[in-house]
């Protein structure tokens, strides 16, 4: 497979300076012990904003990347509480998660705002990890593909197909996030293939190259089954990314 896998750890609003230090140090130790991990895949962590400087300091020569969990759509100015793409670039972030379902449902991130955030990220060469996924209600009503098509089309209609060259997509069924209810490898593969086809119908090369991660209760014991699917190119890991051993075991399952 020509696509290089990515294992991304979304810490969400967890941790402290001490815990970040312990977790980052354990990850560095782990990749130093087993060089095959970074030979096979990219690894990235997404701490809360406040710990990005710490991540930069500790990870800078480790081969592990870091990024942010969100970004403002605005470049600078009177936007109290917001963090700009330029600020993330200033801390050498490589990636930024955009449109996570928690941002969509709890903090009002609409498709329109997500499109603006993607533009902001790309303007400073940050790689957006665009999250898409359906709720349980939408899945039960058989609307999964419609919901995902709409989420992808919002980006495509605003920015064209070429932006997908510079992005990662994460399929995260909302019903599987933090619930312990993972999609089966077959359920996930069906949606990953759908996403790839949606992109490939505009440009086959872009579709083929696009890294599509699965997220939603990925754990050491279900990772290998998911990664065995042809269109699953890694994982966006929440809960299990707070435990260095679990996170590294997931990476080793590739």
Range in contact with ligand PGA (rule: CB under 6 A) among 74-82, 111-119, 142-150, 234-242: 234-242
Known catalytic residues? Answer: 100, 172
**207 near ligand PGA, rule: CB under 6 A:** no
**9 near ligand PGA, rule: CB under 6 A:** no
**Ranges within 26-45 binding ligand PGA (CB under 6 A):** none
**236 near ligand PGA, rule: CB under 6 A:** yes
Number of residues that bind ligand PGA (CB under 6 A): 13
Using CB under 6 A, which of 98, 218, 232, 250 touches ligand PGA? 218
- The CA distance from 117 to 56, in Å, is 22
Using CB under 6 A, which of 69, 127, 217, 222 touches ligand PGA? 217
- Long-range Cβ contact pairs of 58-63 (< 8 A, separation 24 or more): 58/21, 58/24, 58/25, 58/28, 59/24, 59/27, 59/28, 60/92, 62/27, 62/28, 62/31, 62/32, 63/31, 63/38
Strand partners, 127: 95
- The CA distance from 182 to 184, in Å, is 6
Q: Which residue is nearest to ligand PGA (CB)?
A: 238
Residue 243 C-beta: closest distance to ligand PGA, Å: 11
**138 near ligand PGA, rule: CB under 6 A:** no
How many CA atoms lie less than 13 Å away from 84 in the CB half-sphere? 12
Residues in the site for ligand PGA, rule: CB under 6 A?
A: 10, 172, 177-178, 215-218, 236-240
């Amino acid at each position: 497979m020509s696509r290089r896998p990515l294992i991304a750890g979304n810490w969400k609003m967890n941790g402290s300076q001490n815990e970040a230090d312990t977790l980052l140090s354990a990850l560095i130790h782990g990749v130093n012990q087993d060089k095959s991990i970074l030979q096979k895949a990219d690894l990235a962590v997404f701490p809360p904003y406040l710990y990005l400087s710490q991540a930069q300091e500790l990870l800078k020569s480790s081969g592990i990347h870091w990024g942010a969990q969100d970004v403002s759509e605005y470049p600078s100015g009177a936007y109290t509480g917001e963090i700009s793409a330029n600020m993330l670039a200033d801390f050498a972030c490589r990636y930024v998660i955009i449109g996570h379902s928690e941002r969509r449902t709890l903090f009002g991130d609409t498709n329109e705002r997500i499109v603006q955030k993607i533009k902001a990220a790309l303007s400073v060469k940050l790689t957006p990890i665009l999250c898409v996924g359906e709720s349980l209600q939408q899945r039960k009503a058989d609307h999964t593909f419609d919901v995902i098509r709409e989420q992808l089309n919002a980006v495509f209609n605003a920015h064209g197909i070429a932006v997908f060259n510079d992005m990662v997509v994460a399929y995260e069924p909302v019903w599987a996030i933090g619930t312990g209810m993972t999609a089966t490898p077959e359920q996930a593969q069906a949606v990953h293939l759908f996403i790839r086809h949606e992109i490939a119908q505009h440009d086959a090369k872009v579709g083929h190259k696009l890294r599509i991660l699965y997220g939603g209760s990925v754990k050491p014991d279900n990772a290998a089954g998911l990664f065995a699917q042809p269109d699953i190119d890694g994982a966006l890991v929440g809960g299990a990314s707070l435990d260095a051993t679990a996170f590294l075991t997931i990476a080793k399952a590739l």
